[in-house]
Structure 1
Amino acid sequence: MRPIKIQTFMSLDGVMQAPGGPDEDTSGGFTLGGWSQPYWDDMMGEVMGRAMSEEYDLLLGRKTYDIFAAHWPNAGDDNPVTQKFNKATKYVATSSSAALDWENSQAITDDVAKGVAELKRGDGLPLSVQGSSQLIQTLLENLLADELFIWTFPVVLGSGKRLFGGGAIPQGFELADTQTSTTGVTMARYRAAGDVKVGSFALKE
C-alpha cells in the first residue's frame, strides 16, 4: 500500500486557493492570491524543508502540474526541491490530451478515483499531494487520503476554493504532530482514524 499524504495551506475559513501569488489561481474572480507570503518565517522554512526532503512521488491535478512544470525544472539544480521534484514520478489527474513534458510524468485519466485507488494498492513510495484543489476533493470524497498536513494561517478570506467542499465524507482523524510559527501559523499533521466517533454531554436523568 502507498499512503496518500496531502499538504496544503489554508485560511481560518478553510480557503486554500492561490496562497503563493496574485496570479496563481484567479478563477471565480479570486483577488487575494498570495495571502500566505506575509506570514512566512524561518521556522516554517525549516518545517517545509524537512517535509520536502522525505521520500515520495507526486500526485497532482493538471493545473498544479502545469504550474510546477513551468517552474521547477528551471529552478536550478542547487535547489533540493528541484532535485526531488524532477526525480519523483509525477502522477497527474487530467482530462486533457496535452502532453506531459516534465520528465517522469504519467497521466491518470477517465475515472481518477479508480486510478488513484489502484496506485494506492501497488508498491512504491508514498504519494504526496501539493496544491491540486480539485483532485483533493476527489480524494476526500472517496476516502483515499491517509494523512493531512494542514498549515492554517491566521487570516479570513471570505471566498475562494475550500479544502473541505460539499462532497467531503465524514471521517475521523488523529493529531500526529503540531507546531506553531512566530506569525501564528499552525502546522498540524493528521492521520486517518476511521469513522467519526460521537457521544453526548446531555445530563443523565
Structure 2
Amino acid sequence: MRKVVAAAFASLDGVMQAPGGPSEDPTGGFTHGGWTVDYWDEPMGQFMGEIFSSPFDLLLGRKTYEIFAAHWPFVEGGDPTAEMFNSVTKYVATSSKEPLAWTNSVALRGDVAAEIARLKQEDGPNLLTQGSSILLQTLLAHDLIDEFRILIFPLVLGQGKRLFGRGTKPGALKLAGTTVSTTGAIMSVYDRAGAISKGSFALEHPSEAELARRERMKRED
C-alpha cells in the first residue's frame, strides 16, 4: 500500500496560495504571491530534502501541475529537484480534456477521490502532494491523507486559498518531528492518530451562572 503525504507551505493563518512568486496564482485578487522567498534558509532546504529523500510519485491538482510543468522541465544545470520531478510519475486531478505534456504525467478524471483511494491500494512509492490547495480539500474530505509535512511561516496573509477548508474531517494528529528555521518558520511532520479525544475543565457541578450562560448560548445559536 501507498501513503498520501501532504507537503505544504502555509502562513500562520493557514493560507497556502502562491508561496513561490506573484505570478503563481493571483486569482481572487491575491496580491501576496512569493511570501515564502525571504524566509528560505539551510534548515528549510534540509527539511525539504528529507521530504524528497524517499521514493515518491507526485499527486497534484491541475493548477499546481501547470505551474510545475511550465517551470521544472526548463530548469538547466542538473538541478536535482528538477531531475526528480521530471522523472517521477505525476498524477494530476483534472477535469480538462487537454493532454498533459509533461513527461510521465497521468490524468485522474471523474471520481478523483476513488481514483486516489485505488492508487493507495497499489504497490509503489508514496503519493506526495505539493501545493494543490483544491485537491487537498478533496483529500481531506475523504480522509485520504496519511501524513502531513507542513512548513508554517511567521506571517499572516488574511485572505487566500487555505490548507484546511470547511469540508475537512476532524481527526487527531501525532507530532512525529519538528524543527525551526533560522527565519522563524516551524517545520513539522504529523501522522494520523485516530479520532479526537475530548474532555472538560468545567466544574463537576456547574454554577448557576454557568448554567445560565449555557442557556443563553442555546438561544443565540
TM-score normalized by the length of structure 2: 0.90
The residue that corresponds to 2:98 in the other structure is 98
Q: Which residue of 1 aligns with 2:121?
A: 121
Corresponding residue for residue 171 of structure 1 = 171
Return the alpha-carbon distance in structure 1 between the equivalents of residues 44 and 57 of structure 2: 22
Query: Counterparts in 2 of 1:32-181, with a 5 A limit?
Result: 32-76=32-76, 78-181=78-181
Q: Determine whether 1:196 maps to 2:165.
A: no
Per-residue displacement from partner, 1:72-96 (whole Å, max 9, x unpaired)?
A: 1121261111121122111100000
Distance, in Å, in 1 between the alignment partners of 2:86 and 2:174 is 32
What secondary structure sits across from 2:71 in the alignment?
helix
> Following the alignment from structure 1 to structure 2, what is the Cα–Cα distance between the partners of residues 136 and 52?
19
- The 2-side partners of 1:181 and 1:169 are apart by 30
Matched AA of 1:81 = T
Which is higher, the Rg of structure 1 or of structure 2?
Answer: 2
After the TM superposition, which residues 2-21 of structure 1 pair with which residues of structure 2 at under 5 Å, given as runs?
2-21=2-21
Percent identity of equivalent pairs:
56
- How far apart in 1 are the matches of 2:116 and 2:42? 35
CA distance in 2, matches of 1:8, 1:67: 15
Partner AA of 1:24 in structure 2: E
Using the size of structure 1 for normalisation, the TM-score is: 0.97
Task: Give 1:156's aligned amino acid.
Answer: V
Structure 1 stretch 55-64 or stretch 70-79: which is displaced more?
70-79
SS in structure 1 of the partner of residue 139 of structure 2: helix
Change (3 A) 1:151 1:42: same
- Please name the residue that 2:26 is paired with: 26
Unaligned runs of 5+ in 1: none
Q: Is the 8 A contact 1:53 1:84 kept in 2?
A: no
Equivalents in 2 of 1:85, 1:119: separation in Å? 19
1:179 CA displacement: 0.3
Q: Is the 8 A contact 1:133 1:163 kept in 2?
A: yes
Aligned-partner Cα distance in 2 for 1:189–1:164: 16
**Structure 2 SS opposite 1:161:** coil
Measured after TM superposition, the shift of residue 54 of structure 1 is: 2.1
How far residue 145 of structure 1 moved from its aligned partner, in angstroms, is 0.2
| Cα RMSD (Å) | 1.1
The CA distance in 2 between the partners of 1:191 and 1:15, in whole Å, is 21
Residues of 1 paired with 2:50 and 2:121: CA distance? 26
Structure 2 unaligned regions, length at least 5: 206-221
In 2, the alpha carbon distance for the partners of 1:53 and 1:8 equals 16
1:34, CA displacement in angstroms? 0.6
